[in-house]
């Protein structure tokens, strides 16, 4: 009886090890499939996905942006416009947001769902904008 109890307890403490292929970490399925792969899907699936994206396009979600500029100096309005225009030229496919919250002008870039996505752009701009930092904020639904 004592032996059976010991065996049952041994079974309760079994550890399951899950191995993850680290070469796939952070990659989407299309990048894993390679350049010659084709995705075949019905028009109904494509329409359903587009309808979902369009229905949620106006809804804000919790995500991340990079605050590049935050200042209240007398020249901060002009400087914020310059910074926003530079970011739009450097990252034409990434949203740039300029706002005013008395007394500060702010410029942020991005609609990132994860902090890892924000870090990619952050690492690219931190040399040019050393005071930049990542913020958690409501973002536009990524398209």
pLDDT at 38: 77
Residue 132 belongs to some domain of the structure: yes
| Regions in the chain scoring below 50 on pLDDT | 1-8, 10-12, 16-18, 20
pLDDT at 37: 76
pLDDT at 70: 95
Rg, the chain, Cα only: 24
Whether the CB-CB separation of 116 and 27 falls below 8 Å is answered with no
Separation CA 10–CA 63 (nearest Å) = 44
Q: Domain range spanning residue 87?
A: 61-139
CATH of the domain at 92: 3.30.70.1070
Separation CA 117–CA 113 (nearest Å) = 7
Residue 41 belongs to some domain of the structure: no
Digit-coded pLDDT (tens) for 102-117: 999 999 999 999 999 9
For residue 110, CA distances in Å to 3, 29, 35, 60, 104 come to: 61, 23, 27, 13, 20
Q: pTM for the whole thing?
A: 0.63
Residue 80 belongs to some domain of the structure: yes
Separation CA 62–CA 138 (nearest Å) = 5
């Amino acid at each position: 009886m004592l032996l059976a109890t010991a065996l049952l307890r041994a079974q309760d403490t079994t550890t399951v090890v899950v191995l993850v292929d680290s070469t796939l970490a952070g990659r989407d399925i299309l990048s894993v499939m390679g350049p010659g792969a084709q995705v075949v899907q019905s028009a109904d699936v494509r329409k359903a996905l587009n309808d979902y994206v369009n229905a949620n396009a106006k809804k804000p979600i919790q995500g991340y942006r990079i605050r590049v500029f935050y200042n209240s100096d007398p020249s901060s309005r002009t400087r914020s416009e310059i910074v926003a225009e530079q970011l739009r030229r450097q990252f034409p496919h990434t949203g740039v947001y300029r706002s005013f919250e008395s007394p500060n002008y702010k410029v942020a870039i991005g609609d990132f769902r994860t902090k890892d996505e924000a870090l990619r752009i952050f690492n690219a701009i931190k040399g040019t904008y050393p005071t930049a930092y990542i913020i958690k904020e409501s973002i536009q639904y990524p398209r």
